[in-house]
Amino acid sequence: MHEIPYNAHINFDSGVIDDAQVTERRLSDMAAFYHDQEAVQRLLDDDPVLYRVYYIAQEAGSPSLWNTGVSVIEPGRVGDEYIMTKGHYHLNPEAPEVYLTLSGTGRLVLQTRQGEAKVLAMTPGAMNYIPGEWAHRTVNVGDEPLVFFAVWPSDAGYDYDTIAERGFARLVIAGDDGPQLIDNPAFIPES
């Protein structure tokens, strides 16, 4: 495959990559991912944009081609749950990913199909390595947008269905003293 060198510019504050493709997720795109359905219904009239991903994708198919992107997660909550991404496994369990936080404060929620779970901090400068077999979701626990750069192989693919059907084992919610990690009562383990 013929690769073409490129030069792209990321605005570190807004997260916008000039001339990149954009995916926008609104509350209506992911209502079922939040555990407080009454809170979802209250917010659905406005149907706010919860996050955007600016990305430059290579043609899928070869692990030596990498996609790059910047995610911008808005601050706020749906009930007691912070605004977060859907989260996914890579369809290819050999496709890892690296995140570099540019601004904001977040949590990276990780889990394997075997039931291991981890939560890592995201603050400016944090570099998070996500092995191929780990599902990953980012949660904005701060008052400003959470902005992070990501690089991943173009043959990674996305498994959103497993998370949609079973959820993550751990949830990050707003507690009295700030972000709090709880077990997800609705989680359905795979094994």
Selection from Zn ion, ligand F6R, none that 84 binds (CB < 5 to 8 A by kind) is none
Using CB atoms within 10 Å of the CB of residue 133, give its burial: 0 to 12 exposed, 13 to 18 middle, 19+ buried. middle
What is d(CA 52, CA 71) in angstroms, rounded to the nearest whole number?
A: 6
Q: Shortest approach of Zn ion to residue 13 CB, angstroms?
A: 23
**Are 53 and 145 contacting, i.e. CB atoms less than 8 angstroms apart?**
no
Q: Does 109 bind ligand F6R (CB under 6 A)?
A: no
Q: Does 102 bind ligand F6R (CB under 6 A)?
A: no
Binding residues for Zn ion, how many (CB under 5 A)? 1
Q: Does 69 bind ligand F6R (CB under 6 A)?
A: yes
Q: Which of residues 91-110 bind Zn ion (CB under 5 A)?
A: 97
Residue of 34, 134, 152, 168 interacting with ligand F6R (CB under 6 A): 152
Selection from ligand F6R, Zn ion, none that 147 binds (CB < 5 to 8 A by kind) is none
Q: Where are the beta strands (DSSP E) in the chain?
A: 21-26, 49-56, 66-73, 77-78, 81-82, 97-103, 106-111, 117-122, 127-130, 135-140, 146-153, 170-175, 178-183
Q: Does 155 bind ligand F6R (CB under 6 A)?
A: no
What is d(CA 28, CA 44) in angstroms, rounded to the nearest whole number?
A: 7
Q: Does 145 bind ligand F6R (CB under 6 A)?
A: no
Residues in the chain: 191
Q: Shortest approach of Zn ion to residue 90 CB, angstroms?
A: 6
Piece of 14-22, 58-66, 80-88, 139-147 that binds ligand F6R (CB under 6 A): 80-88
What is d(CA 101, CA 105) in angstroms, rounded to the nearest whole number?
A: 8
Selection from ligand F6R, Zn ion, none that 85 binds (CB < 5 to 8 A by kind) is ligand F6R
Q: Does 53 bind ligand F6R (CB under 6 A)?
A: yes
Piece of 5-13, 40-48, 85-93, 180-188 that binds ligand F6R (CB under 6 A): 85-93
31: its two tokens? 């209502």
Beta bridge partners of 107: 121, 139
Which residues in this chain contact Zn ion in the complex, by CB under 5 A? Answer: 97
